[in-house]
Amino acid sequence: MLYHLFDWWLAGESYVYQNVLFRATFALLVGFFFVFWATPRVIRVLVRLKVGDNPEFDHVTMNELSKHKAHTPTMGGVVVTAAILVSVLLLANLSNFYVRMGLFGLLWLAALGGMDDWLKLTSVRRTGSRHGLYAYEKLLFQIALGVLLGYFMYRYGSRNEAYAVVNPETDPVETFKVLSVPFYKSGIRMGIPVAMIVTVIVMAGTSNAVNLTDGMDGLAAGCVVLCSFVFMVLSALVGDASWAQRLLLPHIPMTGELAILCGAIVGSCLGFLWYNCHPAQVFMGDTGSLPLGGVIGYVALATRQELMLFIVGGVFVIEAMSVILQVGYFKSTGGKRIFRMAPIHHHFHLGGWTETQTVMRFWLVAAIFAAFSLLTIKLR
């Protein structure tokens, strides 16, 4: 809204409000202070509604280590989602297709996660056991979102006038069919069916990976901050023709506005960490983890940096792979385990690390992944 107000008032004569990194930084601050202000109020509402979590694990020692978290308010992702929405509505160009689709994905997954949280938490109060959405039900909605976003990115690419102006000799549809590869100057060409499959895998995979990481105070939020910051920079570079050409990145016009969306995620998660750090006063829940992961995956798709996401979100990849390996090995060996418990952060916690040590060390690993991913931008 402010973007359009300044655009009308100054008639395009001011460069500052047009600069995406300026507005992304502003969105970071708006998101932080919104969450910092709103979270105590949301916590009081959640306590009044008795929306408190009671973590239960199939491990006696883990239940003992987590018993102090009983009845901690959850569904705190509501305030994170609201902060991102407010920041983007205020500072982004709302006529931009990529921004609108990002907000659509954010609200879709927030509603899905909110439904799952509400069903689980209310069923615990009634029956003493957790009955949320089934895994296949959540996956079905995630796949549906991936198909919708992939379809519209493809259809929009064929009509993208901004792309035609900047790249008059290039077929705009081709950008959706090129997979950018780190360390490699030229991308890998894909057919539309493969591109759609990649879209679905990235959306569902990233959303669930962040959800799996959200198992300790501040762990997921801190890792999301680092990952979103990298994609804030990448969005600004990919959306700028001169910088994209210098760094041999695929130039996708109008994706620079996604830097505002990423900046809003960074600020909102930093604000949430104020109350979510150990000992947590509120949990994010699926209401926050699903949309945060999904939006990061969407930004990676829109900027054609899907493979870079494996580096930037290295911690999320490790967490998801630990669960896949644990489940696969357990079933194939008739009950044997690779890790003490999955996701892997619980393995280290059970091995003697305190929760704070585990979270801090995972943050450090996430920071290394983020730094390395920024380094790869210049290595082609």
pLDDT tens readout for residues 131-181: 678 888 999 999 999 999 988 887 775 455 444 444 444 444 556 667 777
Which pairs from 1-5 meet CB under 8 Å and 24+ separation?
1/89, 1/90, 1/94, 2/90, 2/91, 3/90, 3/91, 3/92, 3/93, 3/94, 4/93, 4/94, 4/95
Short-list 287, 306, 286, CA closest to 296 = 306
pLDDT digits (tens, 9 = 90+) for 46-77: 888 877 776 677 777 777 777 777 788 889 99
Higher pLDDT among residues 228 and 248, named by residue: 228
- Report helix, strand or coil for 59: coil
pLDDT score at 172: 47
Q: Rounded CA gap, 200 and 105, in Å?
A: 12
Residue 202 or residue 252, greater confidence:
202
- Number of neighbouring beta carbons within 10 Å of residue 162: 13
Each as own residue / partner, the long-range contacts of residues 357-360 (CB below 8 Å, 24 or more positions apart, any chain) are 358/216, 358/219, 359/216, 359/217, 359/218, 359/219, 359/222, 359/278
**What pLDDT, on a 0 to 100 scale, did the predictor assign at position 167?**
46
Closest CA to 268 of 5, 11, 39: 39
Amino acid of residue 71: H
More confident position, 271 or 12: 271
Q: Is the Cβ–Cβ distance between 199 and 149 less than 8 Å?
A: yes
Distance of alpha carbon 315 from alpha carbon 31, whole angstroms = 24
Residue 296 has pLDDT above 80, yes or no: yes
Phi/psi of residue 224, each to 5°?
Answer: -65, -40
With 70 as the cut, is the pLDDT of residue 197 above it? yes
Q: CA–CA distance from 149 to each of 87, 89, 230, 287 (Å)?
A: 22, 20, 22, 20
Tell me the pLDDT of the chain averaged across its residues: 86
- Per-position b or e across 67-82, b if 16+ CB within 10 A of its CB: eebeebbbbbbbbbbb
Nearest to 104 by CA among 263, 236, 261, 240: 261
Torsion angle of C-alpha atoms 290, 295, 297, 299, degrees rounded to 10: 180
pLDDT band at 6; cut points 50, 70, 90 = low
| Percentage, residues of the chain above pLDDT 90 | 59
* Per-residue pLDDT reduced to its tens digit, 80-128: 999 999 999 999 999 898 999 999 999 999 999 999 988 887 765 555 5
By CB atoms closer than 10 A (0-12, 13-18, 19+), residue 3 is buried
Q: In the prediction, which pLDDT does 164 show?
A: 41
Give the pLDDT of residue 153.
83
> Percent of the chain scored above 70 by pLDDT?
85
Residue 323 in this model has a pLDDT that exceeds 70:
yes
> Could you give the C-alpha distances from 160 to 154, 165, 173, in angstroms and in order?
10, 9, 9
Place of tokens 């950008």: 175
- CA separation for the pair 357, 350 (Å, rounded): 12
pLDDT at 215 over 90: no
How far lies 7's CA from each of 14, 91, 289, in Å?
Answer: 8, 11, 34
Question: What is the arithmetic mean of pLDDT over 265-274?
Answer: 97
- Residue 299: pLDDT over 70: yes
Average pLDDT over residues 239-244: 89
Domain ranges of the chain: 2-309
Q: Tell me the residue length of the chain.
A: 380
